[in-house]
Amino acid sequence: MRYSTLDLLRLKQSADLYGRICRHTTLRKSGRLYSGKCPFPDHDDRNASFVFDPVSNSFRCYSTACGRSGSIIDWMMEFEGFSSFADAVEALGGAQIARDQCWQDKQQKLVQDNKVLAAARTASTQEKARQAAYKIFSAGTELSGSVAETYLREARGLGDIPLPGAVLRFAADLPYWAETAKGRFEIIHHGPALLAAFQNKQGRFAAVHQTWLNADGSGKIKLSLEDGLRLPAKKIRGPYMGASLRLGPPAPVMGVGEGIETCLSCAPFGLSCWCAGSLGNLVGSGKPDGICEPHPVRTGHLLPSRQPDMASARAFLPFEARSMIVLADSDTKDLEALKAQLERAVRRLRFEERSAQILWPPLGMDMNDWILANGRDAA
């Protein structure tokens, strides 16, 4: 039966070698060691040449007439008459160790199998969601002349800037699903919507960004349930984490932001932008053991970690972009937390050997509001 090196080491360290030796000779403490006359019958020791080391749980006879040394297994084979290494190990409980190791191996295999199964299920679920999202996007029509174009050009003040037709589309009558009761989902609205396609690192379609609009394109629709709960006008369907809305071509200097309108607002200034769709996809996760500073305003609360987890998913950005401008929106309830998260995004970009800075609009405004109010003076 085979035993791991670690199991054998534990066995040698835990066995009572001192007790076995003391049955045959008297050991006295001398410093950190114990010494006495050598107990081996073929050695007539008169000088207390035998030493036991409690730290290594081993013995040694320093006499040239003997010279024996080793662990408890060596003791058992040379003094107690065990015929083999395996017999000595088994007598010390090796069989139980082997059974425990076998059980641990089975448990580890079970855990690994479950991880593989869970990953396969997750991949299957994500692929189904991706296909459903692609069905929604592919059913959309061109923006030209649509309510979505009116929304972007007039309501959001984007004027005559080129709109990326390969990324943006229009749905004339998109259903809005909501959880009206626990576990019960229903369509509570049909209406026009702006669609946008997320692409992953390989350029493959990943998810669809959906923004429901007023019938005349004057703004985003306001929806709520019967109990008064406000519902978001924007939803994302499909595995979008790590993917991006590519609203402009790759360039040496680029912008990256959370919202479509924010990113498109920079186009008149010649800044090509890619959109993350959410704050989490913009900044990525914080380092699990990263430092979280005390919140300067909310007593007893901590800020999000500024240290990035480089292994976490974050919106893909092109290699060509060596200098990044992170577009902030200042219309948030917790500006201090947002600052910490955007600083995390900047640190991650710099770790990737890109230069990075944050562009802040005035407090209480998002980038589109600021540019819409100030025009080119906002630059």
Q: Which two tokens stand for residue 222?
A: 């306001």
Give the Cα-Cα-Cα angle 239, 244, 249 (nearest 5 degrees).
155
Give the number of other CB atoms < 10 A from CB of residue 33: 14
Q: Is the dihedral of CA 141, 146, 149, 155 positive or negative?
A: negative
Same domain, 353 and 373: yes
Residues 221 and 251 in one domain: no
The string of pLDDT tens digits covering residues 167-197 is 999 999 999 999 988 889 999 999 999 999 9
Q: Return d(Cα 148, Cα 215) in angstroms, integer.
A: 10
Q: Which of 140, 201, 197, 132 is nearest to 173 (CA)?
A: 140
- Examine the domain organization and report whether 230 and 262 are in the same domain: no
How much is the average pLDDT of 312-327? Answer: 96
- Tell me which of 31, 58, 92 is where a domain ends: 92
Both 245 and 379 in one domain: the answer is yes
Query: What is the C-alpha separation between 2 and 203, in angstroms, rounded?
Result: 51
Q: Let me know if residue 99 belongs to a domain.
A: no
Amino acid making up residue 4: S
Q: How far is it, in rounded angstroms, from Cα 330 to Cα 333? A: 9
Query: What's the rounded mean pLDDT across residues 22-35?
Result: 93
Average pLDDT over residues 146-171: 94
Average pLDDT value for the chain: 91
**Which CATH number does the domain housing residue 82 bear?**
3.90.580.10
- State mean pLDDT over 248-277: 94
Do 208 and 256 belong together in one domain? Answer: no
Question: How far, in Å, CA of 328 to CA of 262, rounded?
Answer: 9
- Would you say residue 154 has pLDDT above 70? yes
Mean pLDDT of 299-316: 95
**Banded model confidence at residue 368, pLDDT cuts 50, 70, 90:** confident
- The reply to whether 100 falls in a domain is no
Q: Which domain holds residue 59?
A: 5-92
Q: Give yes or no: residues 74 and 148 share one domain.
A: no
Averaged pLDDT for residues 16-35: 93
**278 and 377: one domain?**
yes
* Domain count for the chain: 3
Whether 103 has a pLDDT exceeding 80, the answer reads no
In a domain, 102, yes or no: no
pLDDT in tens, 200-242: 999 999 999 999 999 999 999 999 998 889 999 999 999 999 9
Among the candidates 43, 60, 92, a domain finishes at 92
Boundary residue ending a domain (171, 206, 239): 239
Q: Mean pLDDT throughout 365-378? A: 69
- Domain contains 106: no
Tell me: do 198 and 176 sit in the same domain. yes
Residues 283 and 213 grouped into a single domain: no
Residue 332 lies in a domain: yes
Nearest CA to 18 among 75, 101, 91, 99? 75
pLDDT at 100: 65
Residue 103 lies in a domain: no
| Coil, helix or strand at residue 341 | helix
| SS3 track for 116-182 | HHHHHHHHHHHHHHHHHHHHHHHCCECCCCCHHHHHHHHHCCCCCCCCCCCCEEEEEEEEEEEEEEC
Is the pLDDT at 288 greater than 60? The verdict is: yes
Closest CA to 213 of 195, 193, 232, 190: 193
Asked whether residue 225 is domain-assigned, the answer is yes
The rounded radius of gyration (Å) of the Cα atoms in the chain is 35
The mean-pLDDT minimum among 97-111, 122-136, 182-196 falls in: 97-111
> What is the CATH classification number for the domain harbouring 285?
3.40.1360
- Checking if the pLDDT of 378 tops 70, the result is no
Tell me how far CA of residue 51 lies from CA of 46, 47, 58, in angstroms.
Answer: 14, 11, 9
Integer angstrom CA distances of residue 178 from 37, 171, 172, 239, 266: 85, 18, 19, 19, 33
- Please give the share of the chain, as a percent, with pLDDT higher than 70: 96
Residue 318 has pLDDT above 90, yes or no: yes
* Confidence band of 2 (pLDDT split at 50, 70, 90): low
Alpha-carbon distance 143 to 165, whole Å? 7
Higher pLDDT, 71 or 364: 71
* Same domain, residue pair 269 and 378: yes
| Rounded distance between C-alpha atoms, residue 218 and residue 240, angstroms | 28
Residue 139 has pLDDT above 60, yes or no: yes
Whether residues 229 and 260 share a domain: the answer is: no
| Closest listed residue to residue 182, CA positions, set 221, 122, 225 | 225
Mean pLDDT over residues 25-31, rounded?
A: 92
The reply to whether 255 falls in a domain is: yes
pLDDT higher than 70, residue 379:
no
Residues 55 and 132 in one domain: no
